[in-house]
Amino acid sequence: MKRFLPAEIWEEYDRAKEERQNLPRRPNFFSTQMHDWEEAKSAYNSKARTRSAKAGPTKVWADMVGAMKAKLEEGELTGFAHDDPPFGPWRKISASAWRALRIKNVAKGQATDGTKTLSDIHILPSGLADHMPTGVPGRPSKGIEIIRAEFERRVAAGEIAASLAAESGALAAWYNRTYPLRDRPSPKTIANNIRSDYTAAKPKLA
């Protein structure tokens, strides 16, 4: 979600969390001196304000999840899920299917329509959706398919580096900037995955 939602909404979420954390602790009548009781109650503010502040992060988070769902429904983002996680084949979730799906757990990548739960959902910008492996058992290896797509773009644009090591380092840096919250492949892993493609593309540098 960090990748796909504007920074402003994350800032609002952080402010809501900070406001909740800064609430004074609820006074306890039995542990508070009588002459301090009224002051303690005043510091805690009214119950209505307290409830509002505590609900703040929950409401903002719900708005964030709703914004993600809207992007999926509109086809701006594309989701993929395992038929039988973690080893079943990947299947594309159609944009129309998201109208019936409810995002259940962001951290676990779960969504449900009330009868079936989809797990380990992987989301890509629609422009990279064609590079997600489907119908093949197993899990994508730390974004290698996404990196391959960027490598192909760099080849077509004549931007690849003069050595495999330099190209792998550039791709690793790009992936780290673009997907900061995801598992990060090492330049060595990237090199092992693009070696033959790089060798074939290298003459285009001339």
Please report the pLDDT score of residue 138 as a whole number.
40
How far is the CA of 98 from the CAs of 62, 70, 95, 102, 143, in angstroms?
A: 16, 8, 6, 7, 23
Q: How far apart are CA 65 and CA 49, in angstroms?
A: 25
Query: What percentage of residues in the chain have a pLDDT greater than 90?
Result: 16
Q: How far apart are CA 77 and CA 132, in angstroms?
A: 13
3-state secondary structure of 186: coil
195 versus 177: the higher-pLDDT residue is 195
Please report which helix (H) or strand (E) contains residue 43, including its range.
helix 34-44
**pTM for the whole structure:** 0.52
Please report the pLDDT score of residue 117 as a whole number.
86
Task: Note the pLDDT tens digit of each residue in 7-45.
Answer: 888 888 888 888 777 766 655 554 544 455 555 556 555
Q: How far apart are CA 181 and CA 122, in angstroms?
A: 13
DSSP 144: H
Q: Indicate if the pLDDT at residue 153 is higher than 50.
A: yes
Task: Note the pLDDT tens digit of each residue in 119-151.
Answer: 778 888 776 655 555 444 444 455 787 888 889
Q: What does the buried/exposed string (b/e) look like for 104-143 if buried means 16 or more CB atoms within 10 Å of the residue's CB? A: eeeeebbbeeeeeebbebbbbeeeebebbeeeeeeebebb
Mean per-residue pLDDT for 160-178? 90
Question: 173 — alpha (psi -120 to 50), left (phi > 0) or beta?
Answer: alpha
Question: 117 — alpha (psi -120 to 50), left (phi > 0) or beta?
Answer: beta
174 versus 21: the higher-pLDDT residue is 174
Average per-residue pLDDT for the chain: 76
Please report the pLDDT score of residue 85 as a whole number.
60
Q: How far apart are CA 39 and CA 45, in angstroms?
A: 10
Cβ 41 vs Cβ 27: under 8 Å: yes
Please report the pLDDT score of residue 140 as a whole number.
47
3-state helix, strand, coil in the chain (%, to 5): 55, 15, 35
Which of 122, 118, 125 minimizes the C-alpha distance to 133?
122
Q: How confident is the model at residue 181 (pLDDT cuts 50, 70, 90)?
A: low
Task: Note the pLDDT tens digit of each residue in 66-101.
Answer: 999 999 999 888 888 876 665 566 778 889 999 999
Strand order in the sheet with 117-125: 90-93, 77-82, 117-125, 110-112, 102-105
Task: Note the pLDDT tens digit of each residue in 157-166.
Answer: 889 999 999 9
